[in-house]
Amino acid sequence: MDDSPDTATSARPRRSDARRSIDAILNAARIVLGERLDASMGEIATAANVTRQTVYAHFPSRDALIAALIEAAAAEYSDLLDAAGLETAPPADALAQFLDAGWQFLRRYPLLLSPTLTGIPRPKTNDPHDLVPPRLERLIRRGQRTGDFDRSLPAAWLVAAVIGLQHAAAAEVADGRLTAREAAALCLDSTLRLCGSSGRPT
């Protein structure tokens, strides 16, 4: 049976309310878990200004909530990379923009650097492990073709090394050994050296 106009109208606000609750829970989880990864579902509910039952209605387990948060984070990261000009900017500039997008992402989602996050199931879609490395590899291969980057090392190895460098730099910030500005500058310089860049970002 088709929905009547009244039924369809009432269903839309329910869906809108549910979406607002989900967004509030994910944002609260981002902040609370970013500060303390062992925070409870009750603490996340309090931060989201919803009941614990509402959290469980949308996310049946803590792992499910974290997986959804990772999926949302990856979608944001993808948007940042879309805006970074990775396909069109000169390779050294594009590499700097790739790293800058990563810093923006890690500032919003510091929990993703936690070594205790390894037991969480990977999300079914928008997994950062699937989305980010291929884009960086295309950029590095482009730079190798144009002669801006050294061709002597495999692009796939450089991808792993660049991502590892940024994670290591972020860990130095988290441990208080570097400021964010120092870490970003060192990471960029090290990355350009690693890729054998023939130029500097403009």
CATH architecture of 1-60: Orthogonal Bundle (1.10)
Q: What is the pLDDT of residues 92-148, one digit of tens each?
A: 999 999 999 999 988 888 887 776 666 666 666 666 677 889 999 999 999 999 999
- All structural domains of the chain with their residue ranges: 1-60, 69-202
Q: Which residue has tokens 């730079």?
A: 143
Contact 121, 67 (CB under 8 A): yes
Q: Name, in order, each residue with C-beta under 8 angstroms of 77's C-beta and a sequence gap of 6 or more.
A: 101, 102, 105, 128, 131, 132
Q: What is the pLDDT of residues 56-104, one digit of tens each?
A: 999 999 989 988 998 888 888 889 999 988 999 999 999 999 999 999 9
Taken as a whole, the chain contains a residue count of: 202
What does the pLDDT read at residue 15? Answer: 73
DSSP 114: -
Q: How far apart are alpha carbons 66 and 112 in whole angstroms? A: 10
69-202: CATH topology: Tetracycline Repressor; domain 2 (1.10.357)
Calculate ∠ Cα 175-31-25, nearest 5°: 155
Residues 150-199: pLDDT tens digits?
999 999 999 999 999 998 999 899 889 999 999 999 999 999 999 998 66
